Copies of this chain bind each other. A is one copy, B any other.
Amino acid sequence: MIRGSRYELSGKELPRFLPWVCETLEVDVNPRNVNTPKYPTSIPEPSIQPDFLSALQRLLSPNQIDTNGELRLRHGHGHTQEEMYAIKYTRLGRIPDLVVYPESEAQVTGLVETAKRHNVSLIPYGGGTNVTDALRCNEQERRTIVSVDMRRMNRILWIDRENMMASIEAGAVGRYIMAELKKQGLTMGHEPDSVEFSTLGGWIATNASGMKKNRYGNIEDLVLDVNVATAGGKLERTSASPRESVGLDLRRLMFGSEGTLGIITSAVVKIFPFPEVQKYGSVLFPTFEDGFQFMYDLARKTTPPASVRLVDNLQFQFGLALKPKSSGALADLKSKAEKFFVTKIKGFEPNKMVVCTLVFEGTRTEVEQQQRDVYRIASRHRGMKAGAENGRRGYQLTYSIAYIRDFLMSYYIIAESFETSVPWTKALALCDNVKRLLADEYTRRGLPGKPFVSARVTQIYRTGVCIYFYFGFYYKGIPNPQEIYLELENIARDEILRSGGSLSHHHGVGKLRREFLPKIMSETAIRWKRELKNSLDPTNVFGAGNQGLD
């Protein structure tokens, strides 16, 4: 049972889940045998340069400076499996010595100046939701490490309804931005799966992608201007324009900068009218290939709905296994009747069928047009309408997936996601290759039972797709599952690159994938990045060390 009330699955019994997990992984998960987390594991003492602390105390109020151990620990990691495993069972290693909460651009600028003067390292912190070890501290760092938590800088500075722009501080959390804009009948339309926690500044720094990018664009399409506190002063412009050609645009460097070049303090973003209509939808397909061809047609021949996702059969089953205990006999009956129709009448095989989930947003006319397009094209690919409720559940599941992962870790199951983008024609082979390779490698190593390897298509472009993998396994008896996991993920990543996929569609590089950079770009490109870092932050004030830029 998932505790709390935030998620739909919270507080519900999931009677089918554990049996399904046992069956799929071919292991015997004992619900009474819990790998109890030791959180918090040992927390290193902070090492703070006294003269820096004095300077800081002149700049900020006492309630903006914190040295609490658990707080520092929380600021020293994101959400990779290794990080989660480390904070629960082993030890995180070097963590920030200090957490500060600036409340204005002037304070951020002052902080950067002070850090420079005292040779201290700053690591900007947004929602802490990254999955690239972007927040992990360098073990070798001897300077004081300051985590700069931006979340008190969360104001919407202005909204310009006529020109459809808003200026928002970088620490504003997605959920808050959504709620505030909605009050005014507006939306920014950027909804990564982390939207409940992640921040505007974090979105820019990781070059984030939103679930509804078909309608609103990805973060690089949404940001018109960005203000940054750098080691050399403020990077800013006098005004935000619809579109410009004003030479080298340094603001573009902030997308994917992962904390290495400065602290983003605010941005001007596009806004949109809150959609007249929002609707979920879903379509069942007999096979993944059918669903994939449907998506290809959708991307090529229509303006696709705000979001379109296709899960493979294993993930489809996973979703079914997570259905809560039903609320009555009638619901059960309906579900059985539906199942009979799909499998017996339509002839869909339970171990092959897949589901595509959809979000439609726009004016009533737009949504109606898109629904017509979707279901017309789906029927050409043997698709069968499966209703709004299944669509809604699919998206809800996304929000709770991180919790399910954490929950499973206590039952000796370690799991994680990783993603890529790839041209259409290479996508199916890429999925097959990665799945096969991981299964083979897993068996070759004599690891327990079978691994869980599942793929979904989470974004479509005219030129290709984003593929999202889930990989997990039963780790009881394995002393270092987090390391085994990483080895296998790296093997999968190599296969992704060989199969024509990118290093990442939206997660980014951080420290987790920095070793792969020479495999995707020329030596000159690597050197340019290094030279750029050296010249723009010569003393490495922004010492996050991502992408090898330390």
Contact = CB atoms under 8 A, between A and B. Distances in A.
Interface in A230-250: 230, 232-250
Contacts of A261: 248
Contacts of A531: 535-536
A236 B528 contact: no
A147 interface: no
B246 A508 contact: yes
Contacts of A527: 232-233
A249 B517 CA distance: 12
Interface in A416-451: 421-425
A502 B531 CA distance: 30
Given A425-B163, A507-B245, A535-B532, A525 B236 contact: yes
A547 interface: yes
A163 B427 CA distance: 11
A258 interface: yes
A508 B247 contact: yes
A470 B292 CA distance: 51
B502 A246 contact: yes
Contacts of A350: none
Contacts of A140: none
Contacts of A230: 524, 528
Contacts of A218: 243
A546 B209 CA distance: 34
Contacts of A256: 245-249
A242 to B, nearest CB: 4
25 contacts: A163-B424, A207-B245, A224-B463, A230-B528, A234-B524, A235-B522, A236-B525, A237-B520, A238-B497, A238-B521, A241-B422, A242-B464, A244-B503, A245-B504, A246-B517, A246-B520, A247-B258, A247-B508, A249-B252, A249-B255, A250-B528, A250-B532, A252-B252, A531-B535, A535-B535
